[in-house]
């Protein structure tokens, strides 16, 4: 899942709401001090990684809700997280511009990627796990060799605004980035060539995601909307309902469902095929920060100030 700029922080208290009704259950994860800015499910769904203002990264068991591993004293606030496709490594982005890669098994630091001049806003692994992509407030997208830590490519977004979010296509050949202006750009990964610009939002693009089949790109914006584009860059749907900045989005594992959260204190489940809201989650105390779907579609995680909630759904999200 991708996040927007770390400051100001977003707050999300889910207050015991569930996504699918009485069959749903939830686990509250408490342990962070301060805002939890980033969450990510492991590829096998057994762990949820979290990080935030308290400069720690925690791995939680999604079954027991207990901390399985705790990486403390990172030296800077955590702003982004991404698991490698095989689940062996966890990349962590920081407010100070660094990216660290750790072994999930023993917590050992494998790599430190240095090159960004400002905060890391977003991270993702390529499909084969050989490339790590990082976006930053310094207006650059960097591609790194995930084994050696060597910088492979630097791409400038093309304006003076931050790279706010990114996502790889499922085949790893393309990457989409959003910016602090109102556009998305799609890049060819091998050479860094710009393939297209997606224009249509009226404010900062805060979140983006490729559909699992690679045929669509979703984007959330501070203009309160979510847009879905086809792989030729044509806007095909606009999802309206949020009344404030959209902060995070994620596709369900089959791509039929899109999950979003926003500053309007709601989370929503959408039918990605027709743009209709399936469910609206109301009653939250404050702004939403992050949302993620588990690989099997049975869980949805959300985060807030010192709190993460994992919802076990009565049915899959797709």
In the Cβ-directed half-sphere of 76, how many Cα atoms lie within 13 Å? 15
What pLDDT does 9 receive? 29
Of the chain, the end-to-end C-alpha distance in Å amounts to 17
Supply the pLDDT for residue 315: 58
pLDDT, tens only, 218-256: 999 999 999 999 999 999 999 999 999 999 999 999 999
pLDDT, tens digit, 9 for 90 and up, residues 63-91: 999 999 998 767 899 999 999 999 999 99
**Predicted pLDDT of residue 308:** 85
Burial of 26 (C-beta count, 10 Å sphere; 0-12/13-18/19+)? buried
Which regions of the chain are under pLDDT 70?
1-24, 73, 159, 283-284, 314-318
Predicted TM-score of the model (pTM): 0.89
Q: What is the pLDDT of residue 22?
A: 36
Give the model's pLDDT for residue 158: 74
pLDDT the model gives residue 176: 98
Q: Domains in the chain, start-ordered, CATH in brackets?
A: 25-312 (2.130.10.10)
Q: In what order do the strands lie in the sheet with 131-136?
A: 120-125, 131-136, 140-145, 151-156
DSSP conformation letters of the chain: -----SSSPP----TT--SSSTT-EEEEEEEEEEEEEEEEE-TTSSEEEEEETTS-EEEEETTT--EEEEE---SS-EEEEEE-TTSSEEEEEETTS-EEEEETTT--EEEEE---SS-EEEEEE-TTSSEEEEEETTSEEEEEETTT--EEEEEE-SSSS-EEEEEE-TTSSEEEEEESSSEEEEEETTT--EEEEEE--SS-EEEEEE-TTSSEEEEEETTS-EEEEETTS-EEEEE---SS-EEEEEE-TTSSEEEEEETTS-EEEEETTT--EEEEE---SS---EEEE-TTSSEEEEE-EEEEEEEEPSS---
**pLDDT computed for residue 317 by the predictor:** 63
């Amino acid at each position: 899942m991708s996040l927007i700029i770390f400051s100001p922080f977003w707050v999300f208290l889910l207050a015991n709401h569930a996504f699918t009704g009485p069959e749903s259950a939830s686990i509250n994860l408490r342990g962070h001090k301060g805002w939890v800015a980033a969450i990510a499910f492991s590829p096998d769904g057994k762990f949820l990684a979290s990080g935030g203002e308290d400069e720690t990264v925690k791995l939680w068991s999604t079954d027991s809700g207990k901390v399985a591993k705790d990486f403390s004293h990172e030296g800077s606030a955590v702003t982004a997280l991404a698991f490698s496709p095989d689940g062996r490594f966890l990349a962590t982005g920081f407010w100070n511009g660094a990216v660290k890669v750790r072994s999930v098994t023993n917590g050992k630091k494998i790599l430190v990627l240095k090159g960004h001049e400002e905060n890391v806003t977003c991270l993702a692994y390529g499909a084969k796990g050989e490339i790590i992509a990082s976006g930053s407030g310094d207006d650059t997208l960097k591609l790194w060799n995930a084994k050696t830590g060597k910088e492979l490519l630097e791409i400038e977004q093309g304006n003076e605004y931050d790279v706010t979010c990114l996502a790889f296509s499922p085949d790893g050949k393309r990457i989409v980035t959003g910016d602090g202006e109102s556009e998305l750009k799609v890049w060819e990964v091998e050479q860094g060539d710009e393939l297209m610009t997606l224009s249509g939002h009226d404010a900062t693009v805060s979140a983006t995601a490729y559909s699992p089949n690679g045929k669509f790109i979703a984007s959330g914006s501070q203009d309160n909307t979510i847009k879905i584009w086809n792989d030729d860059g044509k806007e095909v749907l606009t999802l309206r309902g949020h009344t404030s900045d959209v902060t995070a989005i994620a596709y369900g594992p089959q791509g039929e469902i899109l999950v979003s959260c926003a500053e309007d204190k709601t989370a929503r489940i959408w039918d990605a095929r027709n743009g209709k809201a399936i469910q609206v989650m109301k009653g939250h105390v404050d702004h939403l920060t992050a949302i993620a779907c588990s690989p099997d579609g049975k869980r949805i995680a959300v985060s807030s100030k010192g709190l993460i909630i994992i919802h076990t759904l009565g049915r899959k999200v797709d």
